[in-house]
Amino acid sequence: MKKIISIIGILLVIYIIFFIITFEPNFSSSKSPEENNQSTINTTGISDTKFPPETQFKPIKSQKIPLPKYLESYEDKVFHSKVTRITQRKLDPDKEHPYSKKGSAWNSDMSILCLGYKFYNAKTFKELPVSSQQNRKEAYKTVGSPRHGTGDMRWSTTNPNIMYVLSSNKKFISLRLNKERTKTSINHEFLDLSKYEDVSFGKNEGNLDYKSQYIVFAAKKKDKNKVYALFYKLGEKNIRWEKEIPHALWSAKNDEPNYFDWISIDPLAEHIVTSTNHHMHLYNLDLKNEIKLDDYASHGDLGIDVNGDPVYVQFIFHGDVGIYSYNLRHPKKPRIRLLPKKYSGGHLSCRNDKLHGWCYLSTSQEGYLEVIALKLDNGTGTVRRFAQTHMSFKGHDETQVNVSPDGTKILFASDWNINAPIDTYHVSYRSIKLTQTYP
């Protein structure tokens, strides 16, 4: 009996010691944010989140980071995201940086990145066998010989193995990448548009809707300077209609009347939007009921806001500058000023088809040299700040944010503010601390 009591006593002592060692009291810091001269953003409970905390877009000085080596990662000093350099363009110029609104560089399940005509593992950034041994000309054929380069290539938003291509011989096809990632083949030929002198995906900046069901082509007929819209539902034998686009001439230059920039269907396939004659115009799916969205046409993209409505979002560089959204279902409502500055310009993308209510920006002003997500709401100015870009002002027009379908990953380009070759960087957010501080 005495032995049993002794054993129980020993076990009790061990338990008390273990409790003392492992217990962590929750003492709050004795210093306030004011004493630290910092703004504290509490991220408690979201340590495993894939997104940065929601905050306001206030200036933060760029932090100096040594130029990363190829495939080297670092932690952003301010926002604690993981940034990886994924190109060495000086040695491999065929790894083109993807333009902001020409579709996402990621396929629909985000397992593959397409840079230019080359395919990469989206986790390791190693080139896939399908293009790894190919020169630029060979890789161009592998992606279906797109008529206007990457402007006529788009991943399917529903099938990770399918890419839509308008080929050099003016055929609209779907291209299939095999499961082994060793070759591509034509999956389906939808349309032969060779009767047109020229044709493109909305003049290279048009996109399919978020379900990859509809597309609007821009076309030119021989000996005519007019621009024609071709409306098509994927899977059907013929286009549904061909109509002349108002206020547009094919050959008009950027500083001339009737300049034609682009045409596209909105993400929900409810409207058609054009940038023509330096104005933004809205139409129904028959290219009728024209409404002028704005007298000013700038860089922008089509997305979905927090209420589920399709919107157009763009920079405004003159007058009441800022980032604005326009509700396509309620076009007579005043535009919404999402952010109050132009931030020395930048790029904007809404190719996050699986994450509605946000658009993604790269901005160029000192204090705002970043890639961010901007909430498409009633103008609260809410952002998620992913990373600083370290781009010089000289190269500010080439930062060109590109976003993954789920909005968790971003690509940007940078010369690292040291006139280095402009390379592509991959950003994914990881919460390092339960409480992060922004200087």
* Predicted confidence (pLDDT) per residue in 352-407, tens digit: 999 999 999 999 999 999 999 999 999 999 999 999 999 998 877 899 999 999 99
pLDDT of residue 92: 85
Residue 234 near residue 258 (C-beta atoms within 8 A): no
Confidence tier at 9 by pLDDT (50, 70, 90): low
**Residue 7's pLDDT band (cuts 50, 70, 90):** low
Q: Kindly provide the residue ranges of all beta strands, DSSP E only, lying in 61-213, ordered along the sequence.
A: 73-75, 81-85, 112-115, 118-121, 153-155, 162-166, 171-177, 184-192, 198-200
Judged against a pLDDT cut of 90, whether residue 19 lies above it is answered with: no
Q: Amino acid identity, residue 274? A: T
Residue 436 has pLDDT above 80, yes or no: no
The reply to whether 254 falls in a domain is no
Q: What's the domain count of the chain? A: 1
Q: Does some domain include residue 407? A: yes
105 has pLDDT over 50: yes
Asked whether residue 316 is domain-assigned, the answer is: yes
Q: Tokens 């399709």 appear where? A: 310
Domain of 388 in residue numbering reads as 36-90+301-439
Over the stretch 400-416, which tens digit does the pLDDT of each residue have? 999 999 999 999 999 99
Please give the helix or strand (H or E) that residue 263 lies within, else none: strand 260-265
Q: Span 263-286, mean pLDDT?
A: 98
Mean pLDDT of the chain: 89
Average pLDDT over residues 315-333: 97
* Among 9-23, 158-172, 256-270, the least confident range: 9-23
* Residue 62 located in a structural domain: yes
Place of tokens 């279902």: 329
Inform me whether the pLDDT recorded for 30 exceeds 50.
Answer: no
Is the model more confident about 257 or about 6? 257
Residue 273 lies in a domain: no
10 within some domain: no
For residues 48 and 322, the model is more confident at 322
Query: Which residues lie closer than 8 Å to 397 by C-beta, 6 or more apart?
Result: 345, 364
Q: What is the mean pLDDT of residues 315-334?
A: 97
pLDDT for 280: 98
Mean local confidence (pLDDT), 194-200: 98
Is 393 inside any structural domain? yes
437: pLDDT strictly greater than 50: no
Q: Is 139 helix (H, G, I), strand (E, B) or coil?
A: helix
Q: Residue 283 domain-assigned?
A: no
In Å, what is the CA distance from 162 to each residue of 63, 109, 176, 181, 254?
A: 40, 11, 5, 12, 34
Q: Is the pLDDT of residue 21 over 80?
A: no
CA pair distance 380, 374, nearest whole angstrom? 10
Angstrom distances, CA of residue 334 to CA of 39, 279, 310, 379: 33, 16, 15, 12
